[in-house]
Structures are given as structure tokens and as C-alpha cells.
A and B are shown apart, each in its own frame.
Chain A
Amino acid sequence: MPRLLLFIPLLLFFVLAAFLWKGLSIDPRELPSALINKPFPEFSLPALQQPERILTKKDFIGQPVLVNVWATWCPSCRQEHEQLLVIAQAEEIPIIGLNYKDERDLALQWLQQLGNPYQFNIYDEEGMLGLDLGVYGAPETYLLDAQGIIRHRHVGVLIAQDWQELKLIIKGWGSVEN
């Protein structure tokens, strides 16, 4: 009997090794959104292109939308811009832009030079909406359903594969043209 007890350390080691192995396939830096299945935060901010126009949640609730957090100081945002234009072209789901802690002039220039995939842009100069959203680094893309509930967040450059995944999620809710 006591001999069996001596196998306990070995057993504990196997448990540890199993967890470590699983750990190799997890990214510890990836942070899931704390707002999944919660409503998009309330806000009242000016539009980027029309400063007099104040935008609120009501402006995009009623259909599934993508909210893309971007800024001109973010090099990865530049990378994903192509993909956003492709999504906008496909006209399957509107993209709302959240210009995060940026300068209006630079942002407008960028859209002019690179193309504008956004229905409209929320100008979050102070970054307070970003804070309410739990944004920790641009670019981020949020998928909202028709009721304005956040269903998915993608952090980092959005590539074609990610767009396919998003489409699958949307299909899962029924028709895309809701």
C-alpha cells in the first residue's frame, strides 16, 4: 500500500503537464469582451463628418451591424482597411465606424485617401465610449444584433477568415437581411 503513495507525485505531475500542454494552445494576452450578450453602451457623441450632428445608439439599432474601432495612429487599422472595404462592397451588413482618440482632420483625410467603408463614423475624441465598451487597443470589431446586443468581439486585424466566421454567426440568427 505505501508503495502506491509514492506514485502520487508522478500523478500530480501528469495533471500539471496536461494543463501546461493545453496552455500552449491558449493565448494569455487575448481578452474576451466583458460585454458579450450585453447591450451596447449608451452614448451621445458627434459624427465625424458632420460635427453638428449628435449620434446615439438609436441611429443604428434595428438591424445587425458591425462597429469597427479605428484610428489613424493605428498601423494595423491601415492593414484591415482593405477587408473593410470588401465587406462594405458586399452590402451584407453595415459597418459603423468608431474613430477612437483621433484627430478629426487626419481621420477625414484618411477616409478620403483610402476609401470609406463606413455608413457613418462616431467621433470619440476622449475615448470615453471606448472605455465603456472595454476597448483596450485598436483595431477592434464588434458584432451587434438587431436589438443592439453585443454578440461577438474581434480584436486585431480583421482578415477574410474572420469575416467568414462573422457571416456564419449572423447566418445562425436567421436571415442576414433582418
Chain B
Amino acid sequence: MIPEIGEFALIIALFVSVVLALIPMYGASTGNEMWMTYAKPLAMGQFFFVVISFICLGYAFSQDDFSVVYVAQHSNSQMPIQFKLSAIWGGHEGSLLLWALILSGWTFAVSRFSKALPLDMLARVLSVMGIVATGFISFLLITSSPFARYLPRFPADGADLNPLLQDFGLIVHPPMLYMGYVGFSVAFAFAIAALLSGRMDAAWARWARPWTNIAWAFLGMGITLGSWWAYYELGWGGWWFWDPVENASLMPWLVGTALVHSLAATEKRGVFKSWTLLLAIFAFSLSLLGTFLVRSGVLTSVHAFASDPERGFFILMLLALTMGGSLTLYALKAPNVKSESSFSWLSREVFLLINNIFLTVMAVTVLLGTLYPLLIDALGLGKISVGPPYFNAVFVPIMCAMAIAMGVSVAVRWRETTVKAVLNKLWLPAVISILCGLIFPLTYGNGFEVRVFLGISVSLWVMSSVFTEFMGKFRNAQTITSRLKQLPLSYYGMMVAHVGVAVTAIGITLVSTYSEERDMRMQKGDSVELAGYQFTFQGTHVVKGANYMADQATIVVTEDGKSIVTLSPEKRRYNVKNAMMTEADIDPSLFRDLYVALGEPLEKGAWAVRIHYKPYVRWLWLGGILMAFGGLLTVADKRYRQRSVKLEATHA
């Protein structure tokens, strides 16, 4: 009964979203105020029904209702309750429902937190989001309903969730990621509304900024979580593989970063209006493209959902309509006015443009590499693979160049700056960074390494220029605390986010250069040395989990005889499918991770053991957290909390 209610609620939600897509939009173009006011209640209604639908699916999971095909495929009665619930998004159909839930949630949020928005703008924005929702909910109902049932005979128990997914990571990673993907639809909706209304001045940028920054922060957080999850879960110590699905999340993030910066320029200076509109369209389009790549079977990936060309076709249609429609609208109506303000060659505007170029090229590069095998195959030229060696080779130089520009940009003013002023501010950071870059590999490693020099100096460059700029703010201050309070939160947000980039870069540089790894055969009493630590294998014993049995090894780690930690990696056998899984154990620390995983049992009680030494790997994710936090800080800025901002509607 409940699953049917869920399906029915979804059908009603579809109707509501169709009405939301049409009525307020029509009202906006004809000036019919009443029809425009329907947008808000419709948004609420859409959200309400999707929530009901989602709750029904959750209920089916919590009650072990295996007559529902989706529940039977992804759950099992022995699974702990938190995984039963997060299994809702463990497969294609349910994750789509999560998409729809988050989309209707954002739509509802926009309808509630937009008091400053003129009615026709709000109506258009909500209508566009309604159009997207119509697409997704119809996709759900027509090809991928999570409520399909096995009737009259259904399995006694479920097929169990893939053990790799029975983890905390599943609880947080997809929802965060989707908050980001879907959040970009808000910027998209604002851009379309601006194009439709013809009001493409700086106001739309100001309204769109907080939504975009929040979405960007969530997406970044989602990617960070995914990397961290893969690291501790998969057992091989890797944290990024340039897999098509990973790339599908990185591309919108890169373009989103460009968008975040471009919106700032458009709001503050009224420049790049056209380009910002295009970026807003691209960011969401890449989210949709990502959805397509992951679910259509067009690319091979370990993360892909069960692929189905029929579904792929539907998503491609969705993609074509959204992107085709929005790009056509853009081509016809984007503003062409160039002479509103000028800026010199050495100005923040130019550096923002440079930032945008770098980020866009990075996104295009990732897209090119991801789709190239498909390109070659479609042209009948054979099958090739494009993997980490390519992406690392091409991506890293661009990243370095961008980081250098990032450092300079902080010291450059809007409109015009003299070279002298920039040099004055930046000579010291430059010297410090290069020196540190030279010293670090010599003292930390075994000698000079170009990679480390570049990575460290470029990261320190970013950090020290931000810091120098920050210190410069106190020159004319009355007191330090008054100055600290005066600086807007958005400034702090910018600083934190930029420092986050540097922290991640340091993490990447050091972990890729200085990691060590060994695969050993170990039996009780054996000891092996890695990176100055001694790992002693003390045998295994059996442990029992909620739905698995495991062999748990005890490995004692010492350094110079001093005991550091005892690690207990497991080799688990999950009861339901007899699936084997290795659960690594990690001793985390800010400056290094010690990582141990069990392989196959060998003869006479010996085991294959993999040991990793991973220096500075946590900095990777720490940087990601900082970036997301910085993004959220900018939104907490006072000016977004003011209710009456109608005065600044046309800001040049």
C-alpha cells in the first residue's frame, strides 16, 4: 500500500511541477500578477509531494518490504538500520528520487528566501526550476520508478547492498554531492530568468550569488567526502582515479568555481554579464551531463549505476532540451553591450578573466579526456583508454599556472593597479615561497625534487600573498579587533577558500611524491619496515559483525622501539551474498597516515598484507573542507541577511 502511495505522490508532484513550469512563466510574460503569485504555493506543493514519496520509499526499506523490487535489490533484513535507509540512494532509481527531493527542496527554499526579488523574476526562476523538475520526475515515473513491485511472488529476503557501500560514506557522500549538482540549477534558473526578462544587469548576479556559493560549497564537500571514502574503503590507498564518474563531479565544480568568481565581478562592477550567464548555464549543464554519463552506460566506470541505453536516451533528450533551449535563448538574447565600464590591463577584472580561462580550460580538458575514448570509438578509429597518467600530466601544469595567478590577483585592485604597487606587496611572499620550495624537499625528502619545489612554492605563494594582503588591512586601523570586525565575512570566506586551495595542493604534492607502499607475505611474528616504522604481524582472530564474519589481524606499529599504534585490518565475509571485502585500518594523523590492508590468506596462517605510508594525505581533504567552509562564510555575510535591499537593485 505504502509504495503505491509513494508512486501516486510522485504523480501528483509531476502535475504540480508541470503547472509550476507553465503558469507563473506565462504570468510573468503577460504581466498577470495573480498567476505569478501561484509560483510560491506551487513550489511548496511540489516539495510536499516529493517528500511524501521519499518517505514512502524509506518506509519500505525500514520495514524490509521486499515486494518492492528496488528494496529487494539493494537491501537485506540483516543490514543495520542506517544502511537500510541510506540504501535508498544506493541504486539508480532511488538516487534519482533523492535528486528530485533535493531539487524540490531547493525550489522551495528559493521560494521562501527571496523577499528582495521582484515578483516576475521569482516567478520565472521558480518556473524554470519547475521545468527541470518536470523532466526528472517524468524520467523517474516513465523509466525508473523505485516503487515497481514483484507481485504476486516476491523474494523472502533481499539481495543485500554491496558491502563496499555499507559504510558511513554512503550516508553522507551522495546527498552532499546532489545538493551541489542540483544547487547549480538555481543559478541556471536565475540566468534563464534574466535572459527571458531582458533584465541582465548586476541585480540578477547579486541574487544568484548566495545560492551559487552554497551549491558550490556542497559540491566541493561532496567531492572531498567521496575521495576520503574511496581512500579508506577500497583498500588500495588511492584517493582520486580520474574515473568518468569522478570527473563528472569535478567538471561542474570547476565551472562552478569560475561562476562564483564571475558573479562577484558582475555584481560589483557590472562586467562580464554575458559570460557569467553562459557560465551559469554551463555549470548546470555539466551536472546534467554528469547524470547522463553515470547512468547511460556510455562510459565504463566502477561507480556507474546499472546502465541502460533506454534510460540514457531519455536523459540525453532531457539534456538536449535543457542545454539546447538555454543556449539558444542565450544566443538570441545575451547582452552585447561592451562600453559600460573600462578597466586597465592590470586590474582585478582581468585577473578574474584569467581565473575563468584557467578554470574553463581545466573543465574542458577533463571533459575532453573523459569523452575521448567515446569520440575515437564513435569515429570507428578503435578503442583507446585515457587514464590518470594523461590527466595528471595535463592538469597539473595548468593548476600551477593558475595558482601563480591566484597569488597575484589578491594584490590587484579593481579597475586599475600599478605594477609598482603589486610588486611592493608581493616581493616578500614571492621570496618566501621560493625559498621554502627549495628548502622543503632537501630537508624533508631525499634531495631536490622539481615536483615538490613547484607544489610547495606555488601553494605557499598563494597562502603568503593572501596573508600579506590581510595584514595590509590593518595599516590604517584604529585597533586590531575593530578592524577584524569591520572586515566583511565574505572577505574571510575568500581567504579561507584560497588557503584551502593551497592546503589541498600541498597535500597532493607531498602524498604523490613521498608515499611508500609494500605488499608482503606475513605470518605471526613477522616484521617489516617502511618509512622508519616497524610493522609486526601478530596473527588473526575471528570477529562477528551484524551481517558478516571477519578475520581480524593485529599489527603492532613501532618507531625506534616506541609503540605507536595497533592496527586491526579485517577480511570480511558478508553473510548474504558470501561477498568478501577487505576493511583497511588506518592510523590517521595530520602529517602522515599509516595504512594497512589484508589481502588473501596464504598457507600456514600467513596473509598477504599491504602497508602504505601516506604523508600529508589528510591535507587533501582538509583543504576541501576549508574551501567549502570559505564558500559558506561568504554567504553568511551581513548583506545577504538584510531584508530591504531593493534600493541597490541597479548597481553599476
Contacts and interface: CB of A to CB of B under 8 A. Distances in A.
Interface of A: 2-3, 6-7, 9-10, 13-14, 16-17, 19-26, 28-32
Contacts of A2: 336
B622 interface: no
B450 interface: no
Contacts of A3: 331, 336
Given A28-B299, A32-B383, A23 B327 contact: no
Contacts of B296: 20, 23-24
Interface centre among A6, A19, A22 (most CB of B within 10 A): A6
Interface of B is mostly: helix
A24 B327 contact: no
A24 B323 CA distance: 18
Given A9-B278, A17-B324, 11 more contacts: A7-B331, A9-B281, A9-B282, A10-B327, A16-B371, A20-B292, A23-B296, A23-B299, A26-B377, A28-B297, A28-B298
B164 to A, nearest CB: 20
B309 interface: yes
B374 interface: yes
A29 B331 contact: no
Secondary structure class of chain A's binding surface, majority of residues: helix
Given A9-B327, A28-B299, A17 B320 contact: yes
A152 to B, nearest CB: 16
Interface in B310-358: 312-313, 316, 319-320, 323-324, 327-328, 330-331, 334, 336
B323 A20 contact: no
Contact of A13 (B297, B323, B373): B323
Interface string B18-54: 0000000000000000000000000000000000000
A9 B330 contact: yes
Interface string B281-313: 110010000001000111110000000010011
Contact of B327 (A13, A20, A28, A31): A13
Contacts of A6: 274, 330-331, 334
B576 interface: no
B244 to A, nearest CB: 10
A2 B319 CA distance: 26
A9 B331 contact: yes
Nearest to B300: A28
| Interface range for B | 20 to 34
Contact of B316 (A7, A14, A24): A24
Contact of B298 (A10, A20, A30): A20
Contacts of A25: 309
Interface of B: 274, 278, 281-282, 285, 292, 296-300, 309, 312-313, 316, 319-320, 323-324, 327-328, 330-331, 334, 336, 371, 373-375, 377-378, 382-383
Contacts of B330: 6, 9-10
Which of B285, B331, B334 gathers most chain A CB within 10 Å? B331
Given A6-B330, A32-B383, A23 B324 contact: no
Nearest to A25: B309
A53 B216 CA distance: 68
28 contacts: A3-B331, A3-B336, A6-B274, A6-B331, A7-B331, A9-B282, A9-B331, A10-B328, A13-B323, A13-B324, A14-B324, A17-B316, A17-B319, A17-B324, A19-B375, A20-B292, A20-B319, A20-B374, A23-B374, A24-B316, A25-B309, A26-B298, A26-B377, A28-B297, A28-B299, A28-B300, A28-B373, A29-B300
Nearest to A32: B383
Contacts of B328: 10
B298 A23 contact: yes
A25 B312 CA distance: 10
B336 A24 contact: no
Given A2-B336, A24-B312, A19 B378 contact: yes
B293 to A, nearest CB: 9
A10 B274 CA distance: 15
Given A2-B336, A13-B323, A21-B316, A26 B331 contact: no
Nearest to A6: B331
Nearest to A20: B316
B320 A26 contact: no
Contacts of B297: 24, 28
A57 to B, nearest CB: 27
Contacts of A29: 300
A14 B320 CA distance: 8
Contacts of B285: 13
Contact of A19 (B281, B334, B374): B374
Nearest to B281: A9
Nearest to B329: A10
A19 B377 CA distance: 10
Contacts of B378: 19, 22-23, 26
Nearest to B320: A17
Shortest Cβ-Cβ A-B pairs, 5 listed: A10-B327, A23-B298, A22-B378, A7-B331, A6-B331
Contacts of A28: 297-300, 373-374, 377
A3 to B, nearest CB: 7
